[in-house]
Amino acid sequence: RGSPLDEIVVTPSLSGIGLQTKQLTEENADFASRHRYHQSSFIIADNIVQSP
Protein backbone atom coordinates (compact mmCIF):
# COMPACT_ATOMS: atom_id res chain seq x y z
CA ARG A 1 0.00 0.00 0.00
CA GLY A 2 1.33 3.42 -0.94
CA SER A 3 1.40 6.59 1.09
CA PRO A 4 -1.85 8.57 1.57
CA LEU A 5 -0.74 10.92 -1.22
CA ASP A 6 -0.39 8.12 -3.79
CA GLU A 7 -3.30 7.48 -6.10
CA ILE A 8 -3.52 4.92 -8.88
CA VAL A 9 -6.26 4.92 -11.50
CA VAL A 10 -6.86 1.60 -13.24
CA THR A 11 -8.86 1.67 -16.45
CA PRO A 12 -10.35 -1.27 -18.33
CA SER A 13 -8.46 -2.62 -21.31
CA LEU A 14 -9.75 -1.04 -24.51
CA SER A 15 -7.52 -2.85 -27.00
CA GLY A 16 -10.22 -2.80 -29.69
CA ILE A 17 -10.59 0.98 -29.59
CA GLY A 18 -8.22 3.40 -31.32
CA LEU A 19 -7.68 6.79 -29.69
CA GLN A 20 -6.82 10.07 -31.39
CA THR A 21 -6.09 13.60 -30.19
CA LYS A 22 -8.94 16.02 -30.71
CA GLN A 23 -9.28 19.65 -31.71
CA LEU A 24 -8.63 20.98 -28.20
CA THR A 25 -5.07 19.67 -28.14
CA GLU A 26 -4.22 19.90 -31.83
CA GLU A 27 -5.57 23.32 -32.84
CA ASN A 28 -6.21 25.47 -29.77
CA ALA A 29 -3.27 27.86 -29.34
CA ASP A 30 -3.54 27.71 -25.54
CA PHE A 31 -3.17 23.92 -25.51
CA ALA A 32 -0.94 23.45 -28.55
CA SER A 33 2.35 23.72 -26.64
CA ARG A 34 1.28 21.44 -23.78
CA HIS A 35 1.65 17.68 -23.52
CA ARG A 36 -1.11 15.48 -24.88
CA TYR A 37 -2.40 14.39 -21.48
CA HIS A 38 -1.93 17.59 -19.50
CA GLN A 39 -5.55 17.78 -18.29
CA SER A 40 -4.86 16.59 -14.75
CA SER A 41 -4.62 18.57 -11.56
CA PHE A 42 -3.37 18.20 -8.02
CA ILE A 43 -5.45 19.78 -5.26
CA ILE A 44 -4.37 20.15 -1.65
CA ALA A 45 -7.09 20.76 0.94
CA ASP A 46 -6.73 21.16 4.69
CA ASN A 47 -10.16 19.83 5.64
CA ILE A 48 -10.88 16.70 3.66
CA VAL A 49 -13.60 14.55 5.18
CA GLN A 50 -13.51 10.88 4.26
CA SER A 51 -16.53 8.65 4.68
CA PRO A 52 -16.09 5.90 7.30
pTM of this prediction? 0.16
Return the number of other C-beta atoms located less than 10 Å from residue 21's C-beta: 11
Mean pLDDT of 28-51: 59
Cα separation, 37 vs 31, whole angstroms:
10
State the chain's mean pLDDT as an integer. 61
pLDDT of 9: 73
pLDDT digits (tens, 9 = 90+) for 15-30: 666 666 555 555 556 6
As a whole number of Å, the end-to-end CA separation of the chain is 19
